[in-house]
Amino acid sequence: MFHPLRRPPATLAAVFLMMAATSAMAAPDAPATPPVAPVRPVVDEYHGIKVSDPYRYMEDLKNPEVDGWMKAQSLFTQAVIERLPGRRQLLQRIQELDKGAPYTIGGLHRLQNGTVFYRKLEADAETPVIASRPSLDGEETIILDPKSYEQPGGSHASLEFFSPSPDGRHAAVGIATGGSEVTTIYIRDLRTGRDLPASIDRIETAYNEPSWLPDSSGFFYSRRQPLAAGAPASETYHNTEAFLHTLGQPADSDRPVLGRKRTPDRVTAPLDFPSVRVFPGSKEVIGQIHHGDAPELTLFSARLDTLTAPSTDWKPVCTSRDQVIDFTVHGGFIYLVTAAQAPRYKVIRTPAARPDLATAEVVLPESELVITSLLASRDAVYVNATRHGAGVVMPLDPANGRPPEKLSPPHDDSASVSEASPYFSDIFIRTASWTAGGALYAYDPSRREFQVSPLQPAGKYDHVLGYTSQQVEVPSHDGVKVPLSIIYPENVVLDGSAPLLLNGYGAYGSIRHVGFSPLNLAWLERGGIIAVAHVRGGGEKGRNWHLDGQKTTKPNTWKDLIACSEYLITHKFTSTAKLSIQGGSAGGILIGRAITERPDLFAAAIINVGCTDLLRMETTENGPPNIQEFGTVTTTEGFHALRTMSPLHNVQDGARYPSVLLTHGLNDRRVDAWMSGKMTARLQAATASTNPVLLLLDPEAGHGIGSKRSQIHDQLASRWAFALWRTGAPDFQPAAAE
């Protein structure tokens, strides 16, 4: 049974007094009300237009005043949320659901001798370990636990990557601490379980992992430049270079093989991210360059045996203008996923030793599916594609001249190749749906048979009955149809009384794939509904879907979310009083602009590690690479686009904003935590409503990557408890202050 939203107190002060009564019982050191941020305007002029920044001083997180304000805000929020009556039970249910499977695995990697490596997260463990088997059905051994890298009293260690050598004797291990993603490579001797003396810091992990030489004597890796004393943080990602490390040698002797210093004719821009990939069985290696955070690649090929010579003949394969987003090497050819004259992408191939796109063969033309990635086994190249986030797998066989047939694993609402080894014919495929856990299948192409892999046991909550989903397309403000996925209990009454959590992202061409998490049951089993808006800026409908939601077209992103929200209300899935929206990182633009454009439409909004100040993004460590996605204030057009999409700069005094929860990790290197601080202060000062604006920080987390399991559980419980409180769930309402 659902109850209407409780009428809020008459004033914002009264709301804070009510929360303070509950806070004091939860945390004696929590302030009675959230502290007010002083206003100290700094005025910038962009292309003749003056813009005031009332909270510029917050960008110095080391300033004791700023640090104190942020901590006081978070203490207040933590106390308020922890005192919500239903939160503890919600957290316990989340923890219970996450223990449904004895363990989960990922990152499967097979060597030529049959040895298998994978990440394994036990039901009671905080972080994954690396497990190994001599064969798929061999006895398991735990060979690495990131806890071994933790210092007494220090932050927790997380595993960024694990790259074993082809002979299985060593592994390049990427370790970061405190969720920071600041990664160091350690070289583990897998026979002794000890690390070699050399370690390598300043590792670039965003777009590459170490790639080993075929003889296991060393590996290629990418490393950021050392930042000079006093240099701005925005130069952190300048002049990244790809190096070759030889085992037994000090890291300082490693030679660059691709970068502005080594190959200035190939790597020309400061924010080019070069890396080198080796493909077993191929005499050619591929030099890969990401241009900031743009998905389009520049690629070169070279003979492997020339990379240690004074000069390497890097042959051009493609430039960013060729719109290639993924590739693999197989049978002497490089296969490329390109949007050139094919906005939903096609697959072409050209000889790796003599690449020439002008004569490249089309091996999979554009279709109604969106092609996303390629993986190569011993005998074939497999294509991962999608339709509105539902995955499809197809094997390519150019020799037979026939169009590829879609593989059909059991219960394949969505499927994707999760592992393919150049040494084996069989592959591993994961399936998924919105309402049930999928499975890990081993697929034998010679027999066309699927077998559930015992490597991944089923979970207790993978197939709970009583839930369904539907996919609709919603006309947006300009008539363009936006895919919307809706997941809900079969017995829900569509009368507008259900609490609904609408999620979205909409950036970088990223696709919100069909997927299931048993944790979602903690929301659904309360009669709640979960929805995913596949807004423009993502890649659900191909490259144009991405381009229609970036830079000057970015308004389509939040207008798509608004249209999806209105559809859900009109069709009685929920109502304004029951609707919460949620997004993180670049999704902070989506949520922040949705509430600043339509503050009347939502009961609550949750912004996690959100990008909310776009005019100052370029001054941050990770800002310059994002110019490719959002634009730059250095041009008139870019400035106007960034100010339009910046949530902070569209907050209006006197508007009646919904309840807002902003969360952030203080070790975040992708989006600086002061962005959430500024947005919190601005909303608190501007809103004319009685709805709370709260800030919740985690000093031992970053952007969410590398967080411990308990951190993830705690954050999820806090977010959902907040949403349930603000949408009127009876067992989440705090007692009124007397």
- Rounded to 10°, the helix 674-686/64-82 angle is 70
Residue 631 lies in a domain: yes
Residue 737 lies in a domain: no
In this prediction, residues 628-643 reach a mean pLDDT of: 98
Per-residue pLDDT at 450: 96
Share of the chain above pLDDT 70, in %: 95
Side by side, the strands of the sheet bearing 346-351 are: 324-330, 333-338, 346-351, 361-364
Residue 85 has pLDDT above 70, yes or no: yes
Residue 15 has pLDDT above 90, yes or no: no
Residue 517, exposed/middle/buried by CB under 10 A (0-12, 13-18, 19+)? Answer: middle
* Strand partners for 387: 390
Per-residue pLDDT at 401: 62
Residue 7 has pLDDT above 60, yes or no: no
Local confidence band at 388 (pLDDT 50, 70, 90 cut-offs):
confident
8 Å CB contact between 430 and 412: no
Per-residue pLDDT at 30: 78
Range of weakest confidence among 9-13, 103-107, 193-197, 409-413: 9-13
Residue with tokens 């919603």: 474
Per-residue pLDDT at 311: 77
Residue 549 lies in a domain: yes
Q: Which domain holds residue 726?
A: 16-97+462-732
User: What are 41-71's pLDDT values in tens digits?
Assistant: 999 999 999 999 999 999 999 999 999 999 9
Residue 389 has pLDDT above 80, yes or no: yes
How many angstroms separate the CA atoms of 103 and 575, rounded? 38
Residue 737 has pLDDT above 60, yes or no: no
Per-residue pLDDT at 262: 85
In this prediction, residues 86-111 reach a mean pLDDT of: 97
Range of weakest confidence among 201-205, 630-634, 645-649, 709-713: 201-205
* Strand partners for 45: 50
Residue 287 has pLDDT above 60, yes or no: yes
Query: What mean pLDDT is reported for the chain?
Result: 94
Local confidence band at 390 (pLDDT 50, 70, 90 cut-offs):
very high
Q: In which element (H, E) is residue 130 found? A: strand 129-133
How many angstroms separate the CA atoms of 576 and 562, rounded? 12
Per-residue pLDDT at 400: 64
Local confidence band at 208 (pLDDT 50, 70, 90 cut-offs):
confident
Determine if residue 190 is left, alpha or beta; phi over 0 gives left, psi from -120 to 50 gives alpha, anything else beta.
alpha
Residue 274 has pLDDT above 90, yes or no: yes
> Residues, the chain, total?
738
> What are the phi and psi torsion angles at 173 (to 5°)?
-115, 125
Residue 738 has pLDDT above 80, yes or no: no
Residue 498 has pLDDT above 50, yes or no: yes
- What lies within 8 Å, CB to CB, of 145 at 6+ separation is 129, 130
Residue 514 lies in a domain: yes
Range of weakest confidence among 2-6, 353-357, 486-490, 525-529: 2-6
Closest CA to 185 of 251, 273, 254: 251
**Structural tokens at position 374:** 């390629």
In this prediction, residues 286-292 reach a mean pLDDT of: 97
HSE-CB for 49 with a 13 A CA cutoff: 12
Per-residue pLDDT at 261: 85
- What lies within 8 Å, CB to CB, of 730 at 6+ separation is 3
Number of H helices, E strands in the chain: 11, 37
CA distances from 706 to 156, 335, 669 (A): 9, 32, 12
User: What own/partner pairs with CB < 8 Å and gap ≥ 24 does 296-300 have?
Assistant: 296/320, 296/321, 296/322, 296/323, 296/324, 296/325, 297/324, 297/325, 297/326, 297/327, 298/272, 299/324, 299/327, 299/334, 299/336, 300/258, 300/266
DSSP 279-334: -TT-SEEEEEEEETT-S-EEEEEEEGGGTTSSS---EEEE-GGG-EEEEEEETTEE
Per-residue pLDDT at 404: 86
Residue 28 has pLDDT above 90, yes or no: no
Share of the chain above pLDDT 90, in %: 90
In this prediction, residues 358-370 reach a mean pLDDT of: 96
For residue 492, the domain's CATH number is 3.40.50.1820
In this prediction, residues 233-258 reach a mean pLDDT of: 94
Residue 520 lies in a domain: yes
Residue 188 has pLDDT above 70, yes or no: yes
**Vertex 511: Cα angle to 488 and 718 (nearest 5):** 50
In this prediction, residues 694-716 reach a mean pLDDT of: 97
8 Å CB contact between 296 and 283: no
Secondary structure, 3-state, 473-509? EEECCCCCEEEEEEEEECCCCCCCCCCEEEECCCCCC
Per-residue pLDDT at 344: 98
Residue 36 lies in a domain: yes
Residue with tokens 């999620």: 503
Local confidence band at 21 (pLDDT 50, 70, 90 cut-offs):
very low
Residue 674 lies in a domain: yes
Domain tally for the chain?
Answer: 1
**Vertex 533: Cα angle to 705 and 390 (nearest 5):** 80
> What are the phi and psi torsion angles at 302 (to 5°)?
-155, 155
Per-residue pLDDT at 453: 96
Residue 18 has pLDDT above 70, yes or no: no
Local confidence band at 419 (pLDDT 50, 70, 90 cut-offs):
very high
In this prediction, residues 430-450 reach a mean pLDDT of: 95
**CA distance from start to end of the chain:** 28
In this prediction, residues 667-685 reach a mean pLDDT of: 98
User: What are 144-173's pLDDT values in tens digits?
Assistant: 999 999 999 999 999 999 999 999 999 999
Per-residue pLDDT at 27: 52
Residue 605 lies in a domain: yes
CA distances from 389 to 450, 532, 636 (A): 22, 10, 36
Residue with tokens 């879907």: 545
**Structural tokens at position 382:** 């497999």
Local confidence band at 630 (pLDDT 50, 70, 90 cut-offs):
very high
How many angstroms separate the CA atoms of 528 and 492, rounded? 8
8 Å CB contact between 189 and 145: no
Residue 9 has pLDDT above 50, yes or no: no
Residue 600 has pLDDT above 90, yes or no: yes
